Amino acid sequence: MFTGIIEEVGRIRQAGSGHLRIDCTQVLRDVHEGDSIAVNGICLTVTSFGRAFFTADVMPETVRRTSLAELKSGDPVNLERALAVSARLGGHIVSGHIDGTGKIRSLREEGNAVLMTIEAAPEILHYVVEKGSVALDGISLTVAAVTEQDFMVSLIPHTREITNLASKHAGSLINIETDILGKYVEKLIAGNPAGTRGRSGGLSRAMLSEYGF
């Protein structure tokens, strides 16, 4: 589990053949083989590490769902270690499991902020809610507006300075993870599919009345 608060921007040293090597320093503090580190929002397992790098293996399914295939040597990537139980939850609950990619449609300055609009597929936009949370390349952000084709977030200068968003432009792909809490709520309200364990049927007036609501 992660929070979407980026700790460091690392650099890709080697990418390809299901293997990544990333130059970094800060996220290597107290690192062990088998630890989880989010790379552009993707939860990856540390397979080896040195004084200023770590490596991770990448499954084909991960490549299909994310922007990893576009990474090349020297590209910046957002890094975050898994959440410690004693840490503050500064962003929102981020699983590191990417729903898909979106494409940056535009970047527009508004005062000291930058409004970034992202095109996304309907199945992703279904879970994007105005004033809700979304993780973009692993960065916890608040949704400013949503339409049937895209959604918008507002970036403060600090966010662009300490993440890879400074290198993004119109047309760039970006990893999207929607708020997992919304998915759980939707499934609980809709009910379990026939044949699965547990209660069948969704939230209804009769069910609410039965439980005293």
pLDDT at 213: 74
Q: What distance, in Å, lies between the first and last C-alpha atoms of the chain? A: 34
pLDDT at 209: 78
Number of Cα atoms under 13 Å in the Cβ half of residue 50: 6
CB contact at 8 A, 178 and 65: no
User: What's the CA gap between 93 and 130, in Å, rounded?
Assistant: 17
Residue-level pLDDT, tens digit, the chain, 213 residues: 999 999 999 999 999 889 999 999 999 999 999 999 999 999 999 999 999 999 999 999 999 999 999 999 999 999 999 998 887 888 899 999 999 999 999 999 999 999 999 999 999 999 999 999 999 999 999 999 999 999 999 999 999 999 999 999 999 999 999 999 988 888 877 765 544 444 555 666 677 777 777
pLDDT at 210: 79
pLDDT at 86: 80
Tokens 């690392």 belong to which residue? Answer: 10
